A and B are shown apart, each in its own frame.
Chain A
Amino acid sequence: GNSVTQMEGPVTLSEEAFLTINCTYTATGYPSLFWYVQYPGEGLQLLLKATKADDKGSNKGFEATYRKETTSFHLEKGSVQVSDSAVYFCALSEDKTGGFKTIFGAGTRLFVKA
């Protein structure tokens, strides 16, 4: 079945450091891929998405590229800020298996120190 695997946290970085959070997936077809972010005490919100191979999603300085050959969707940011401290979830949804049922990774907690 479909699945999402993301790197375990927590990830602790200093302000202005480079961020990578790895995400790989297993799917039978051509899923859409997402990164959601959850700030403390809040619900998840969509950070970025990509709907087909080689697409790059970007938002708020974060980027992720849909790599079908490596089944990956790694999240990157060139210079993190304290305000980026949150939990990040990689996710996929696929029409073939009832696309509205999104599969979420376990989440990666990011701490950014000033």
Chain B
Amino acid sequence: NAGVTQTPKFRVLKTGQSMTLLCAQDMNHEYMYWYRQDPGMGLRLIHYSVGEGTTAKGEVPDGYNVSRLKKQNFLLGLESAAPSQTSVYFCASSALTASYEQYFGPGTRLTVT
């Protein structure tokens, strides 16, 4: 099992450019999440999905869009990147269990100049 994988690992964008981050999980988990991690701010939830074809906004959704066309994949899109979106992005997934422990990918470090 690869667990949760993220592509790419690093990316540098210019302001206004667009990109898509891909997250894949092979654990047949129902729930998937996108977080951003900034120094001193812990993890903040951007968007999440409770199943294939469904998505919902988290704590900081502005400037991002997501799609979950297949159960194993969760895409995060930036339509017009801004320097404020410079961050480390983590994808996670969890099963439909009572404790909801999450499994994280290795992260994508994004710099917007």
Chain A residues within 8 Å of B, Cβ to Cβ: 32, 34, 36, 41-46, 49, 51, 89, 93, 95, 99-102, 104-107
Is the beta-carbon distance between A43 and B104 smaller than 8 angstroms? Answer: yes
Q: How far is the CA of A104 from the CA of B100 in the complex (A)?
A: 13
Chain B residue contacts of A93, Cβ below 8 A: 99-100
Known: A46-B102, A100-B50, A106-B42. 16 other contacts (CB 8 A): A32-B98, A32-B99, A32-B100, A41-B106, A43-B4, A43-B92, A43-B104, A43-B107, A44-B92, A44-B104, A46-B101, A49-B101, A99-B100, A100-B100, A101-B48, A106-B40
B12 at the interface (CB under 8 A from A): no
Chain A residue contacts of B107, Cβ below 8 A: 41-43
Q: How far is the CA of A68 from the CA of B68 in the complex (A)?
A: 37
Q: How far is the CB of A29 from chain B (nearest CB, A)?
A: 13
B74 at the interface (CB under 8 A from A): no
Q: How far is the CB of B29 from chain A (nearest CB, A)?
A: 10
Q: How far is the CA of A24 from the CA of B105 in the complex (A)?
A: 27
Is the beta-carbon distance between A100 and B94 smaller than 8 angstroms? Answer: yes
